[in-house]
Amino acid sequence: NPAYNPAAAEASQKPEAAKGDPLQGWKARGCEATVANGLLTAKATGSAPFLGFAAGNTSGPIVVVFRIRCPADGTAKVEWLPKPQATDQAKSIPYEVQGGEWQERSVTIPAKGQLGVVRLYLPPGNQPVEIDWIQFKPVNGKIQKWDF
């Protein structure tokens, strides 16, 4: 088909909420995030940069799996809050990355009940961090995947 547009075909397969939103519902906080060539690139602008997602009716426990590359070794965390303003009730699980190569990380969130907001904190540093995709794998329920 000479009029075939691969980008349009790919966009038609994304959930309605993701159309027109390159971050697919994720919100960049304390960082600038762009999506190009199938990668989300985030660069810190604050001291605690993260990507946040309103998990809605997603209930724990779940495993958050993501493919990440950063220039230096570091430790970060995945955090969840039962409600967006309930920062005093936030809980987190740390993860580590090694600089240079692509790697998959899995973080199990042992929460029971609705997750509220999930935050994927970026490893420390001022250099860009790349994320290829993020998945939520609930013990019970449908897998959600964001392939940037």
pLDDT 10s digits, 77-132: 999 998 777 778 899 999 999 999 999 999 999 988 888 999 999 998 888 999 99
- Residue 58: how many CB atoms within 10 A of its CB? 20
Residue among 96, 57, 103, 95 nearest 73 (CA):
96
pLDDT tens readout for residues 49-88: 999 999 987 888 999 999 999 999 999 999 999 877 777 8
How far is C-alpha 88 from the chain's CA centre?
22
pLDDT tens readout for residues 95-109: 999 999 999 999 999
In the numeric block, which tokens belong to residue 107? 């973080």
- For the CA atoms of 134, 39, 43, 75, the dihedral, rounded to the nearest 10 degrees, stands at 40
**Residue 1 confidence (pLDDT):** 55
In the numeric block, which tokens belong to residue 40? 């989300």
